[in-house]
Amino acid sequence: MNFKVNEQGFYGDFGGAFIPEMLYHNVNELKENYLQIIESDDFQTEFKDLLKEYVGRPTPLYFAKRLSEKYNTNIFLKREDLNHTGAHKINNTIGQILLAKRMNKKRIIAETGAGQHGVATATVCALMNLECIIYMGEVDIKRQAPNVARMKMLGAEVRAATSGSKTLKDATNEAIRDWIANPVDTYYLIGSVVGPHPYPDMVARFQSIISEEMKSQLIEKTGRNYPDKVIACVGGGSNAAGAFYHYLDNDKVELIAVEADGLGVKTDKTAATTQVGSEGIIHGSKTLLMQNSEGQITEPHSISAGLDYPGVGPLHAHLFKSGRGSFIGATDKEALTAAYQLTKLEGIIPALESSHALAALNKIELKQTENIVINLSGRGDKDMETYIGEMSNL
């Protein structure tokens, strides 16, 4: 089976570019140029150098001894939380900002949910001295105040998305509208493996550094360049795409994607797209999404703003439909419990998003001889208010 995009930008049945004519020129310009630019030596040299010297890569592949003892298996944490700005998001923003510069764009726009992508975008814009506008749902602005302050301190303008559910989906709509209104000088720096082709493929390529490093780190630690299982959380799915990327064609590796069940998949407060969604079009891509019988996109719910999205990237829709990926879910409560557990056992406070991946340990069969990699996509600083508030409930 093939897990790379075809010429039209499809992974199996999913992907493509379903965009208004107003975006055709921009998206086509990107499609025609992205591979040539990012595969050039000049780009790769600058990209790899910034990842090393500025982001702090490679991130450790940490053997979590106490967590492994508890589950009687071998658990490695890919420490994306140790990246500059606190999450995997910066791998992608470094890549796209270098691309935007080479395409002579002067103004950068982006959407953000939890604020991690917004911070990572504002950071690279400060680094490259480019104007930066971040769209963020009004609801998310309230629940992620520290990240809003960080973006402003970094010089970005944060614009509230006040339409629809006022969360990530609506911030994405507003960013796309901005791009329609400012097509010449503006670059839309998408934060996940979503949107029209070539974004899903491009973002996956930039995030693939995660599994690229895992390969050499695993050889050193286990004598084999692949684990038995890779576990990652999926909202749009960029950290999972990066963690799975170099193992997509290796059938010996089980790929486990963990979605946010919210209050539970049987309730209407969930973000578990593959469980409650169906095929359709969202943000320019054919994929799985949460919608009603009229094709109206419904409002997701997750305690984690980064997973609060009613779709998944087309690669993940393809992994789900083809059976290559195992999709499971973790509720708000299960994620919180997993976060407190990791903090106590390993002294690492994970982001709420990553806590969903950790919660999977209670839901899957684990063997003593297996090597498991959990992609710890971000750190928990931004979620402290939630963690403190929930502490008394556990």
Partner 1 sequence: MNRIDKTFKDNKNILNVYLTAGYPNLNDTVEIVQELAKNGVDMVEIGMPFSDPLADGPTIQNSSQIAIKNGITLAIIFNQIQEIRKTVNIPIILMGYYNQILQFGSDAFFEKSKAVGVDGFIIPDLSLDIYEKEHQQKVEELELDMIFLITPQTSDQRIKLIDSKSSGFLYVVSSFAITGSKSSIHQSQIDYFKRINNLKLNNPKLIGFGISDKKTFDTACIHAEGAIIGSAFIKALQQSKNIKQTVKEFINSVKSGESSVTSTDNS
**Any idea which residues carry the catalytic annotation?**
89, 111, 377
Check: CB of residue 61 under 8 Å from CB of residue 213: yes
Nearer to partner 1, 181 or 388 (CB): 181
Out of 101, 143, 169, 324, the residue judged to bind partner 1 by CB under 8 A: 169
Please name the helix (run of DSSP H) or strand (run of DSSP E) that holds residue 232, with its range, or none: strand 229-233
Which one of the spans 77-85, 245-253, 283-291, 373-381 is the region binding partner 1 (CB under 8 A)? 283-291
Nearer to partner 1, 56 or 295 (CB): 295
Determine if 176 is a binding residue for partner 1 (CB under 8 A).
Answer: yes
As measured in angstroms, the least distance from the Cβ of 177 to partner 1 is 5
Nearer to partner 1, 9 or 227 (CB): 9
C-alpha distances (whole Å) from 39 to each of 33, 43, 222 are: 10, 7, 31
Classify the C-alpha dihedral 347-350-356-358 as positive or negative: negative
Nearer to partner 1, 164 or 264 (CB): 164
The single residue listed with the structure tokens 């910034």 is: 50
3-state helix, strand, coil in the chain (%, to 5): 50, 20, 30
Nearer to partner 1, 177 or 221 (CB): 177
Helices (H) and strands (E) in the chain, counts: 16, 14
C-alpha distances (whole Å) from 64 to each of 69, 76, 81, 341 are: 9, 6, 15, 12
Check: CB of residue 86 under 8 Å from CB of residue 306: no
As measured in angstroms, the least distance from the Cβ of 108 to partner 1 is 17
Check: CB of residue 15 under 8 Å from CB of residue 237: no
As measured in angstroms, the least distance from the Cβ of 138 to partner 1 is 14
- How far apart CA 82 and CA 79 sit, in angstroms, is 6
As measured in angstroms, the least distance from the Cβ of 327 to partner 1 is 22
Out of 2, 6, 163, 216, the residue judged to bind partner 1 by CB under 8 A: 163
Q: In the window 12-31, what residues touch partner 1 (CB under 8 A)?
A: 16-22, 24-26
Determine if 185 is a binding residue for partner 1 (CB under 8 A).
Answer: no
Determine if 104 is a binding residue for partner 1 (CB under 8 A).
Answer: no
Nearest by Cα to 172 from 1, 308, 29, 35: 308
As measured in angstroms, the least distance from the Cβ of 183 to partner 1 is 5
Determine if 103 is a binding residue for partner 1 (CB under 8 A).
Answer: no
* DSSP letters for 269-323: ----HHHH-EEEEETTEEEEE-B-TT-PBPPP--SSGGG--SB--HHHHHHHHHT
Burial of 200 (0-12, 13-18, 19+ CB in 10 A): buried
Out of 83, 91, 173, 331, the residue judged to bind partner 1 by CB under 8 A: 173
- Site size toward partner 1 (CB under 8 A) is 35
Out of 103, 160, 182, 254, the residue judged to bind partner 1 by CB under 8 A: 182
Nearer to partner 1, 157 or 185 (CB): 185
As measured in angstroms, the least distance from the Cβ of 264 to partner 1 is 23
Nearest by Cα to 99 from 140, 69, 130: 130
Task: Count other C-beta atoms under 10 Å from residue 383's C-beta.
Answer: 28
Please name the amino acid found at residue 201: D
- How far apart CA 22 and CA 184 sit, in angstroms, is 11
Determine if 284 is a binding residue for partner 1 (CB under 8 A).
Answer: yes
As measured in angstroms, the least distance from the Cβ of 146 to partner 1 is 29
Nearer to partner 1, 24 or 367 (CB): 24
Nearer to partner 1, 205 or 286 (CB): 286
Q: In the window 286-305, what residues touch partner 1 (CB under 8 A)?
A: 291, 293-298
As measured in angstroms, the least distance from the Cβ of 178 to partner 1 is 9
Which one of the spans 89-97, 118-126, 169-177, 312-320 is the region binding partner 1 (CB under 8 A)? 169-177
Task: Count other C-beta atoms under 10 Å from residue 1's C-beta.
Answer: 11
Which one of the spans 11-19, 84-92, 135-143, 300-308 is the region binding partner 1 (CB under 8 A)? 11-19
Determine if 109 is a binding residue for partner 1 (CB under 8 A).
Answer: no
Determine if 177 is a binding residue for partner 1 (CB under 8 A).
Answer: yes
Query: Which residues contribute to the site for partner 1 (CB under 8 A)?
Result: 8, 16-22, 24-26, 163-164, 169, 173, 176-177, 180-184, 279-284, 291, 293-298
